[in-house]
Every structure is written in C-alpha cells, then in structure tokens.
Amino acid sequence: MSWREELQEASFRGAKFGVDQASTGFGRRNILHQYPQRDTPFSEDLGKQARNISITAFVIGDNYVQAKADLMRAIEEKNTPGTLIHPTLGAMQVIPVSCRNRFSNTQGGIEFFELTFSEAGENQFPNRSFNTRSKVMVSALASRSTVQNQLANVFKTSKLPQFISDDVFAQATELKDLILDKMTTNQIKPIEQGKMKESLDKFEATVTANIADPAVIASTFDDLVYRIENLYNDALEAFSLFKALLVYGDTLDPIPQTTASRIQQKINRDSLIRLTHRAALIGMAVTATRIDFVSYNDAVSLRNELADLLDVEILATGETNEDDSLIKIEQLRADMVADITTRGGSLRRIKRITLDASAPSLVIAYDFYDDAAFDAEINARNNLRRPLFTPAGQEIEVLL
C-alpha cells in the first residue's frame, strides 16, 4: 500500500475538508534556569508540550458552499473539545484556536482555510461542578420509594368483600388499556417494545395473584408506568406518553361512601390513582433530563409546564398529610427546574418575525445568519411547505 492510500480523510466534528499542507508543533516544556556566578545552566522538564496542529485546508466542488458552512459551524460550535481526523496522525481530541478562511475571485468553486488546533487533553483534577441530571435521578428514585411505601400503608383487600378486589382488577385493566391506547410506535426501541408487551401481558395476572400484598401491588403498578422511560429513542415521545397517563382514573365510576367496605374501596382506588399519577410525573422529570433542547424557549416552556404539574401534585400531597412524600416531590421539582434551567441557559433564543415581502427561505437565512445554509433549519422549524416562496405577512421563528 502506497503512502497516499494510507492517508485518512480529514474532518472536524464530521465536517470533511481537503488538506494541502499540515504541520504539528510538539516537544517538551523545558525551562532553562541560569544562575548568577554559575557557568552551568539547569534545565527543568515540566512535561510534554501540548501539540499544536496547523492545517491549510480547502473545500472544493459544486457543493463547496455547503461544505464551507458545515466546517465553519463545526469550528464555532460551543461544545469543546471536538474530534479531528488528521490525514497522518488519525483521530485526536482538539480545540480550535485560530481559524481563517480565504476566498479568491480567480479560483471558482474552492475556498481555503488556515486552521490551528491545540491538543485538548483532559482535566485530571476534581472540580466543583455537579451533574444536574444525576441530581434529578437521585430525587426520582427517592420519590418512587416513598410513593410505593405510602400505598402499602393504606391499601387493603384481605378479608374484605370481593367487590373491593374486583375494583382493583378494573383499575389494572384501565391502566393497561390507557397505555396501549396512547403508546405510539414512532421512535420506539424494538427490544424495549418487546419488554413492554411482555409486562403488559403479565400485568393483570400479577395483580390478581398478589391482590392481598400491598407492597407487590404498589411495585407492579409503579414498574409498569416507569418502563415507559426507556421505551423510545426520542425522549419527547416518552414524555408525551407519561403526560397522557395523568388522565388515569377519570373514567371510573364514583364510589358511594355508604359502608366501611366502600370507604376502603375508595381509599384503595385513590391510592392507586395517586401512585400512577406520581409515577408518571416522576417519569416526566427523569425523561426531561434526556431531552436535548433546541432553544432556550423550548427548555423554559417544558420546564414551566412540568413545574406547574408538580405544583398541583404538591398541593394534593399536602392535603393528605403525607409529609415524607411532600418533601421528596418538592426536592424533585427543585432539581428538575435547576437541571433544565442550567442546560437551557446557554441555548439560542427564539425570535418571531413577520416578513415584509415574500422571500425564499435561503434569503431569510442569509439575512439573519449571513449564511444561506441555515435555510434547512428555518424550513423544519416553521414547517414551510413552499420554501421558495414564503409569503409576505407570514410569521416565522428564527433562532438567534
């Protein structure tokens, strides 16, 4: 194999480019100490010098404008470091240091770039930053445990009339049917879909076999709901299914409070409905940690929606004097708000504009971003059916 065949295709964060020349600065960080009245110097080795990679790159061809935009976007992306594929050195984690492109009117269909990267390395020392997502996971786990314990303390079917157990069976059927009705196949994971089907198939039988064991009933309902969290590749799909379960129990007939048995039947039903609603809310909070928001506005909108739903549940929990559950769900709300606020704070904001005159989305993209390549983002965000003719007076969203 010749040396040309061994060269790797150059790219940065997936944006490909050609290479005309490349050079690498490397070595050791030697500090030379020279002392008064001493003829012999002393050299102190402070470790390996960070490699600096300089590349004269180019993009060429009929689609070079898009290739240029892709490369510039990859270099300006906030998340650092990024993966550089060097023609001879291979893959390495680097940070962009100095980048400049050069256009010549005498050479059509090509643009050159002078790119300088520095080896990224890693932070080997502890820092005080914390993972806001992990705090939500810890709070969610504590809330789930508390909710299950709360049901186990009040749920009772043993030595009571059969209609009380029958009502629990009806609630199990209602939950199963609700999940089947609201569950979509969009972005669903095939393996998890099989596991969910198996859980749904066994759900009613498990409830029937353990009707006298409150702890098993609690964990069976909670586990079925929480399985939704890992059901979809798209976290928003799971979030929507969890939200759909908040109507659980709305179609059940009211229970007359005429006897002690009827009162216990209502206690059982209310506790199962409350457990299911809280399991869904906890699932929404956990699923929200997996959502990669596009804009600050999207993050704030979902955060406020979920915070409002948790506020309703907090008020309801306070009325039942469930102090431990109240503390846990308030902590979950606080951690959820902190997580989404932290992750969404640096995202671009949505700006709504009204077009004064009809224009193609390419022109709109160039006007707002100085880059026509953003037209795809504008088309997708606004669901433009005719990108070449966006009518005057239409309001569209752009990210700034």
- The reported pLDDT for the residue numbered 124 is 61
For 164, list phi and psi in degrees, rounded to 5.
-70, -45
- The reported pLDDT for the residue numbered 294 is 85
- The reported pLDDT for the residue numbered 353 is 73
Using CA atoms, how far apart are residues 57 and 68, in angstroms rounded to an integer? 11
Each residue of 250-304: pLDDT tens digit? 888 899 989 999 999 999 999 999 999 999 999 999 999 999 898 899 999 999 9
DSSP state of 318: H
Using CA atoms, how far apart are residues 224 and 230, in angstroms rounded to an integer? 12
Range(s) for CATH 3.10.350 in the chain? 350-399
Instruction: Judge contact between 318 and 365, C-beta under 8 A.
Output: no
Specify the CATH class of 350-399 in words: alpha beta
* pTM greater than the 0.85 cutoff: no
Residues of the chain with confidence (pLDDT) below 50: 127-129
Range(s) for CATH 2.40.30.200 in the chain? 3-34+42-119
Give, rounded to a whole angstrom, the gap between the first and last alpha carbons of the chain. 49
Write the CATH number of the domain with boundaries 3-34+42-119: 2.40.30.200
Using CA atoms, how far apart are residues 365 and 379, in angstroms rounded to an integer? 10
Rounded (to 5) percent helix, strand, coil in the chain? 50, 20, 30
